Amino acid sequence: MCIRDKTQEMRMLSDYIYHYIKSILNYSFHPFNVLVIHVIRPLQRTPLHSDSTYSPDGNFNIASNSQQQDSPVAIFVIGDTRILKFRLMRYKLENGKQIKVPAGPSVDIPLVHGTLFILLASDERPMHRSGYGDDIRSILTFWNHENKGIGVHDNISFGVTLRTCVHQMEVHNTTGLKKMTPSEERAAHKYVEQIAILDNWCASQEKRRDDFDLRSRLVTAMDTYYKP
């Protein structure tokens, strides 16, 4: 992942969708300032989560959220159809901790090519919701969602995701990659050294298949860090 300034086309798309949402929902919020492109391939899924987090009693903490309070998320879909699954959740006290548990139905939403999907902040806020049975009307519920991916025989799906974010990160001017912390730099340097040793070994007369496999695992591990 790298961070770049928006192109003129990206700014036009952000502005167009921002004004479109305001007009159809009569909903006031800060303009989108971040555009993220998610690439979904076959068998690639995202587990159950929320884009904005709230306390069990429905309070929003700006320090634990990257998004502006009460800001929606818009996703414009290009490519093969992928399925977004929503599940109604609630908090349950278990062993002194509040954990998320299912509270009601789940809903599958197909995001076909050309779909504009809008996730409102109120969808994820714990509140009293009616229409799901008398037994949960007195319970604070909220929606979480997961990406169930595209079909195994499909090719690819792109999600152009628009957000309004309030936090910043420091990135390298030339690469756009996030600047690593000292501990991340030490960990990445360790992997670089080990890979260099394996490269020399694999180029020798005594190379073994196991060495190539180890190199592949090290590269995968190193990719969890942002390289400067």
The beta strand positions in 133-217, using DSSP E, are 140-149, 157-163
pLDDT in tens, 22-52: 999 888 899 999 999 989 988 888 899 999 9
pLDDT of residue 79: 96
Sign of the CA dihedral running 165, 98, 46, 105: negative
Domain presence at residue 2:
no
Where is pLDDT greater, at 185 or 139?
139
| Between 215 and 96, residue with greater pLDDT | 96
**pLDDT band at residue 227 under the 50/70/90 scheme:** very low
29 and 43 in a single domain? The answer is yes
**pLDDT band (50, 70, 90) for residue 228:** very low
Expressed as residue numbers, the domain containing 87 is 8-163
| pLDDT for residue 111 | 96
Does 204 lie in the same domain as 116? no
Residue 215 has pLDDT above 70, yes or no: no
Residue 191 placed within a domain: yes
Looking at the fold, whether 118 and 224 belong to one and the same domain comes out as no
Domain boundary among 163, 179, 210: 163
**Residue 87: is it exposed, middle or buried by C-beta count within 10 angstroms (0-12/13-18/19+)?**
middle
Is the domain of 121 the same as that of 191? no
Neighbours of 16 (CB within 10 A): 10
| Co-location of 142 and 194 in the same domain | no
- 130 and 37 assigned to the same domain: yes
141 and 177 share one domain: no
Tell me which amino acid residue 226 is. Y
- Residue 1 in any domain: the answer is no
Same domain, 159 and 224: no
Query: Does one domain contain both 134 and 54?
Result: yes
- 158 and 176 co-located in one domain: no
181 and 113 share one domain? no
Domain stops at, among 108, 130, 163: 163
Flag whether 123 is in a domain. Answer: yes
* Residue bearing tokens 């180029």: 203
Contact at 8 Å (CB) between 39 and 150?
A: no
Residue 126 has pLDDT above 90, yes or no: yes
- Answer for the pair 39, 131: CB distance below 8 angstroms, yes or no: no
Number of independent structural domains in the chain: 2
**Average pLDDT for the chain:** 83
State pLDDT tens for residues 62-117: 888 889 999 999 999 999 999 999 999 999 988 889 999 999 889 999 999 999 99
Residue 145's closest CA among 127, 117, 124?
A: 124
Residues 157 and 195 in one domain: no
60: CATH: 2.60.120
Give the three-state DSSP class for 105.
strand
Q: What is the pLDDT of residues 137-172, one digit of tens each?
A: 678 999 999 999 998 899 999 999 999 998 777 776
End position of a domain, from candidates 163, 192, 216: 163
Mean pLDDT of 52-58: 92
Q: Round to whole Å and give the CA distance between 31 and 17.
A: 10
pLDDT of residue 224: 54
* Residue-level pLDDT at 124: 95
